[in-house]
Amino acid sequence: MVKILGISGSLRKASFNTGLMKAAAADVPEGVEFDTATLHGIPLYDGDIEVKNGIPEAVTALKQKIMAADGVILFTPEYNNSMPGVFKNAIDWLSRPSADIAKVFRGRHFALAGTSPGNFGTILSQNAWLPVMRTLGAELWSGKRLMLPRAETLFDQDGALSDADAADRLRAFVKAFADFAGAQNGR
C-alpha cells in the first residue's frame, strides 16, 4: 500500500485547494492510502516560542504524518504571485529543530498541485516552492504539476470538485505520483 499525504495550504473553510485535496482523497487509485492535513493550529514561527515551549503539538502531529507517508502533495494556493505565507510558515516550523530536516524532508517525495481563480492556475506559487523544497533536500517529483485555472468554475456550491475534466486530471496526477513514490520506496 502506497501512503500519500495531501496538505492544504489554505486556512479558509471554503478553500478551493482544500476542496481539491478532499477530491483527491475521495477518489484514490487501488493500492493507495490517501491521508489529509491542514495547517490549522500552527502558530506563527517565533524562535523565542520554540526555545521557551518547544515545537507546538500541531507541528509535531504534521511531522508524524509526513514521516509516515511515501509521498506528500502540497495543495498550494497562490497569493500575490507566490506561495501563501501561512503555508511557508508551516514548512518553517516543520524544519525545526534543524536536525529534523533530514527526518521530515530529505529524500521524501513531494509533488505540487493547486487551483486558483486566475488564468494560470498556481504556476507562480508552485515555482516559488522549488527552491524551498531543494533547500530542505526533498525529492520534488518533476513528472507533472497540477495547475487548475478558474477555480470558481470547477467546484459546486458545496465546495466539491464538479468539473469532470479537472477530476480526471486530478485522478491521473495522484495515480502517477503514487506510482512514482511507491516505486521509489519499493512498494
Give me the percent of the chain exceeding a pLDDT of 70: 99
Tell me how far apart the alpha carbons of residues 29 and 35 are, in angstroms, rounded to a whole number.
13
- Give the pairing of strands 109-115 and 71-75: parallel
Residue spans of the domains in the chain: they are 2-184
Beta-bridged to residue 114, according to DSSP, are 147
CA 40 centroid distance within chain: 14
Tell me how far apart the alpha carbons of residues 3 and 181 are, in angstroms, rounded to a whole number.
9
Is the CB of residue 112 less than 8 Å from the CB of residue 129? Answer: yes
| Fold (CATH) for 2-184 | Rossmann fold (3.40.50)
| pLDDT at residue 187, as a whole number | 65
| pLDDT at residue 28, as a whole number | 94
| pLDDT at residue 16, as a whole number | 97
| pLDDT at residue 151, as a whole number | 96
Q: Is 71 helix (H, G, I), strand (E, B) or coil?
A: strand
| pLDDT at residue 9, as a whole number | 97
| pLDDT at residue 39, as a whole number | 97
C-alpha cell recorded at residue 23:
477530491
Q: Would you give per-residue pLDDT tens digits along the chain (187 residues)? A: 999 999 999 999 999 999 999 999 999 999 999 999 999 999 999 999 999 999 999 999 999 999 999 999 999 999 999 999 999 999 999 999 999 999 999 999 999 999 999 998 999 999 999 999 999 999 999 888 899 999 999 999 999 999 999 999 999 999 999 999 998 877 6
Is the CB of residue 104 less than 8 Å from the CB of residue 67? Answer: yes
Alpha carbons within 13 angstroms on the beta-carbon side of residue 81 total 0
